[in-house]
Amino acid sequence: MSAAPSPKDPARPAAAPDPALLRKVALSSLLGTVIEYYDFLLYGTMAALVLGPLFFPESNPTVGMIASFGTLAAGYVARPVGGMVFGHFGDRVGRKTMLVLTMVLMGAASFLIGLLPTYESIGIAAPVLLVLLRVVQGIAIGGEWGGATLMVVEHAEAERRGLWNGVMQMGSPIGFLMSTLAVTATTTLPRDQFMSWGWRVPFLFSALLMAIGLYVRISVSESPLFRQAVDAQQKQAVAKPRPPLLKVLRRPRVLLLACAVGIGPFALTGLISIFMLTYATGIGFATADVMNGLIAASLMALVTIPLFSALSDRLGRRKVVVGGAVGIALCAFPMYALIDTGKPALLIVGMLIGQLLQSAMYAPLGPLLSEMFGTEVRYTGASMGYQLAALIGSGFTPLIAGGLLSGPEGMRSGPLAILAIVCAVVSLLAIWRIRETRGKDLSEEYDAGASGENPPAPGPSTTVFEKGVDV
């Protein structure tokens, strides 16, 4: 993409979105997100259960745990790379094509993990290949979220972007629920069978999911806002358009805010959905108890994510995020106190509290980040902000948490609660500096940067990156 459309000839939707088309786009994004998150989150659960001893057998238990979560972090490190690469071509070529490619990459990487020989068979090549495939997963999911979000947001009417984005974001808990159920089913096998071949089955199942997802995804139409922006660019006939990433980096403050606001919810994801299995079993819970808690949290997220996302259409993105961030700052210690009782029922209650507050912070991110960037850089900007937050919040949180619990005192929840609070405060400070974006016209390319929800008429002196941000 090149220069923005002229203010005198803005690229605005000509008509209200077709409801049937919008439902089809939302279904496509939902299915694609389910599959991507099934594959990506499946690895997180398996890292806690089996990947350490199979791929790092010479390590002591603590080092093995850190090594297996290190490969988990490798996937998160690759996510911003995927956001940058697929964002670039998504802003240049189109959203739909990139979404097809991300699904193929993710499905192929997960399937190959299911076929990968262990350390006992091929030595050091096993963990090296595991890390490489995890990186491919990270690149794929790094490009998936931005494209899936934009396909929904750019098709939907302004006053219902949160509602429709909430439908798409249900893919994350559904994907996690599916991966959790798959792991739960395989862990019922005898231990020797699970360690030898049972753990591979959920990864191999990815090939079937990929085929279903591709069938649906190929049939949807390209984003209308992207097509209109392309038409405007062709009329202007700019010879050498600047890469979208360079345009985003010209306004680094907005990218940093987009990243910071997501750190809180992603840190909770790392603590509740990924690291909880390690922590809870370390203080005496059975694996089945923790898996029941993870399933309950996923079921709650199926309800709370679309509700909070739709609520952001009514109250605004900022108020919903603030509520979740303040909630976790107040409830982190009580949440872990419930878990530390050692009672399975209270473990589930504590995890549900964390999931409720995580959903409040996470649900508005799709429309919020999309509304902070213009059409010609939206895929790149929103993806980079989201994936950097995922890297810092979820990618390194299990590593940090493992380090906090590796001392002579053993398992202690206090440092984990403090970690959750610090990350929530980061999100709170970021959302305080982000101006309300609810209802913003996504086709606008210029803004005078005034505060308030209704900016003045477009002017040529301020770029799109100032929209939605106090400057």
Fold of the domain spanning 19-224+243-466: Growth Hormone; Chain: A; (1.20.1250)
What are phi and psi for residue 358, nearest 5 degrees?
-60, -40
Q: How far apart are the first and last CA of the chain?
A: 25
Residues 133 and 110: their CA atoms lie apart, in Å, by 8
Q: Which of 453, 460, 314 is nearest to 10 (CA)?
A: 460
In order along its 471 residues, the chain shows pLDDT tens digits of 444 443 334 334 445 566 777 788 888 888 888 888 888 778 877 877 888 788 877 655 665 666 666 666 677 788 888 888 888 888 887 778 888 898 899 889 999 999 999 888 888 888 888 888 988 988 988 888 888 888 888 888 888 899 999 988 898 889 888 887 888 888 888 988 998 899 999 999 988 888 888 887 787 767 667 666 666 666 665 555 678 888 888 888 899 999 999 999 999 988 987 788 888 988 889 988 998 998 899 899 999 999 999 999 999 999 999 999 999 999 999 999 999 999 999 999 999 999 999 999 999 999 999 899 887 888 889 999 998 998 888 878 887 888 877 655 556 788 899 999 999 999 999 999 998 888 887 766 423 233 344 443 333 333 333 333 432
Torsion angle of alpha carbons 430, 434, 439, 440, nearest 10°? -130
User: What is the residue extent of each domain of the chain?
Assistant: 19-224+243-466
Q: What sign does the dihedral 438-442-444-446 (CA atoms) show?
A: positive
